[in-house]
Amino acid sequence: MNLHLINDVPDGLTLRARSFVRAHGIKADTRPVEQYRQWWLERGIPEAVIDRMAAYQDRWGGLALPPSSKYDGGPKYFEPDSPEGSSSEGWWFEAGMQRTAVPYSFMIGPAGEFGIHANQWTPLHMTVEGWVESLALTHHASMWAKQITKVTGDKVDGIALDSFEPVREVMGLADTWWRGSDSLVAIYSGEAESLSFPKGRTALIYSGLDEWGLRGGVEDGAA
C-alpha cells in the first residue's frame, strides 16, 4: 500500500479538525469506485447509491487518521465498498475496513450518517465530518486535560450534565460530546445500542481544562 501526505484537507471542518487532519492524517491509495460501477449495476445496486459512493471516495477516500478511543480505533482509512439495502429501507455502504476483528462494520447510512452495523444499524454522527471532529476533539482534549476519568455501564447515567452544552460540531447521535465550565465529556453509546449490550456504554471525562482546552481551534459560531 502506498501512503502519501495530505495535500488538500476537506472543507466544512473546524480549524481544530483541519489542523488535526493536516498534522496527523495520511492518504492511502484506494480502488476507484468507477472500476466497479458496472458490476454493481448488474447486481441491482441503484446508480444513485453508486454516485453517493463515488462522491464519498472523492471527498474522503484513502484518508487515514489516528485511532479513535473507542470502536477498536475505527476504520483503518476511508474507502467505500459493499453497498447493501433496499428501496424501502434505504441504502448503506461500508465506510472503511476495520482495524481489528470487531463484530460490526463501519457504514455510511442512507442520509450520510457515519455509524456501525451489527445486530442493527446505529448512526454515531450525522455526517463523516462529525466523526472526524470527534477524533480531533479527542486528540485536543487528551493533550490539555489535567485528568481523564473513564465511566462505564449504568454509571454513565449518573454524570450530571445539567450545566453542560452539547458540542455541536461533532453532530452527535449515539455518540455525543458535552462542554462544561472546565471539562468536556464524551459519551459513547454506539456499541451498547448496536450490540444490545448496555454495559458497553462508556464516557470519558476530560477535566481541568482552560478556555483553550474547552474551545481551542473552533471559530465563533461553530461550537
Give 13-70 pLDDT, tens digit per residue: 999 999 999 999 999 989 899 999 999 999 999 999 999 999 999 999 999 999 999 9
Q: How many domains does the chain have?
A: 2
**Residue 27's domain spans which residues?**
3-128
Backbone angles phi and psi of 166, in degrees to 5: -65, 145
CA distances from 168 to 1, 165, 223 (A): 36, 9, 6
Q: Do the Cβ atoms of 92 and 110 come closer than 8 Å?
A: yes
**Mean pLDDT of all residues belonging to the chain:** 93
Q: Within a domain: residue 112?
A: yes
Whole-angstrom Cα distance, residue 46 to residue 193? 29
Split at pLDDT 50, 70, 90, the class of 221 is very low
pLDDT at 6: 74
Instruction: Note whether 223 and 168 are within 8 A (CB).
Output: yes
Within the chain, how many helices (H) and strands (E) appear? 6, 13
Is 80 exceeded by the pLDDT of residue 2? no
Average pLDDT over residues 117-141: 96
Q: Are residues 118 and 19 in the same domain?
A: yes
The model carries a pTM of 0.94
The answer to the question of residue 220 being in a domain is no
Task: Provide the 3-class DSSP secondary structure of residue 105.
Answer: strand
CA nearest neighbour of 215 among 160, 144, 156: 144
154 and 109 in a single domain? The answer is: no
Q: Is residue 43 part of a domain?
A: yes
Indicate the residue among 76, 100, 128 that finishes a domain.
Answer: 128
Bridge partners (DSSP) listed for residue 94? 81, 107
Q: What does the DSSP assignment read for 63-100?
A: EE-PPPSSGGG-BSS---EEEEEETTTEEEEEEE-BSS
Q: Are residues 108 and 155 in the same domain?
A: no
pLDDT at position 222 over 50: no
Do 70 and 139 belong to one domain? no
Share of the chain above pLDDT 70, in %: 95
Report if residue 202 sits inside a domain. Answer: yes
When pLDDT is cut at 50, 70 and 90, the band that residue 98 belongs to is very high
25 and 95, same domain (yes or no):
yes
Instruction: Please identify, among 128, 154, 182, the residue that sits at the C-terminal boundary of a domain.
Output: 128
